[in-house]
Amino acid sequence: MTKQPDHARLREFWNRRYVAFTLSESGCLGAGEGLNDRIYACKLQALRRAIAALELPRDTPWSVLDAGCGQGHFARFYRAEYPASSYVGLDISERAITHLQRTILDAEFQVADLCEWDDARGRRFDIVQSFEVLHLILDDHAMLRALANLARCLVPRGALLVTAALPDQTMQRSGYLRYRSRAFWDNAIASLGLRLVAQQPMYYWLPAGGPANKYLRYALTRVGPGALYAIDRTALRLGLPRPASADVDSRMRLLTLQRA
């Protein structure tokens, strides 16, 4: 049987997954609404720090391309916290884009394959971001094409914000997730004429729902997502070493890339 191309697989996967447009559908499978809400809060914290480091002002117009915008979580963030910015969201799911065009009227959304998208108006963007999307592309060549295409969309001094877990060895734990190694990312960044300006961890172990020890995990999960989130933030802020058993999703980092 002919292998299904990545873009077709992803389009089918997300069109099928979106039903009620809850956080559980776009977030971590099985985590539930409360924990996914806290996971998204971690992403926003990392994004705020990255924007602050870039010294982008709140009251001056600048532009954002959100590659893999899902249900518009970041569109709402930019409208609330950076109302002078202009925002374009891309997603491979026609179902998601139709929903966003009906529910968020002050932003622009387009159906797009990240490997191929080209803005019809020739725009380039101050920030191009892609949160927890590129590891969904299983084919390494397709992932590199997507990364190159996103880099092409930057203004000369713009920043590409992408997430990566950076394990020592490339890992493919399932039929829809592939975590590329640090060496793979180093080579990709250099080949595109980019440089790594900053990297920051986004979680301690929150996406895994807590520690691996089943007794401690049971005790902590009973106190609820809010308490888990507070412990996760404290551990990350204190720089506590992660246990060797930490899930790869918990090792996700936000990378800030700019032209070398």
Structural domains of the chain, with CATH: 6-203+252-259 (3.40.50.150)
Q: Which residue has the tokens 């019809």?
A: 120
Model confidence over 122-179: pLDDT tens digits?
999 999 999 999 999 999 999 999 999 999 999 999 999 999 999 999 999 888 899 9
**Alpha-carbon gap, residue 225 to 207, rounded angstroms:** 11
**Alpha-carbon gap, residue 75 to 89, rounded angstroms:** 7
Whether the Cβ atoms of residue 90 and residue 114 lie closer than 8 Å to each other? yes
Whether the Cβ atoms of residue 100 and residue 92 lie closer than 8 Å to each other? no
Whether the Cβ atoms of residue 207 and residue 247 lie closer than 8 Å to each other? yes
For residues 217-246, average pLDDT: 85
Sign of the torsion angle spanned by Cα atoms 232, 234, 236, 238: negative
Whether the Cβ atoms of residue 54 and residue 40 lie closer than 8 Å to each other? no
Model confidence over 56-67: pLDDT tens digits?
988 899 999 999
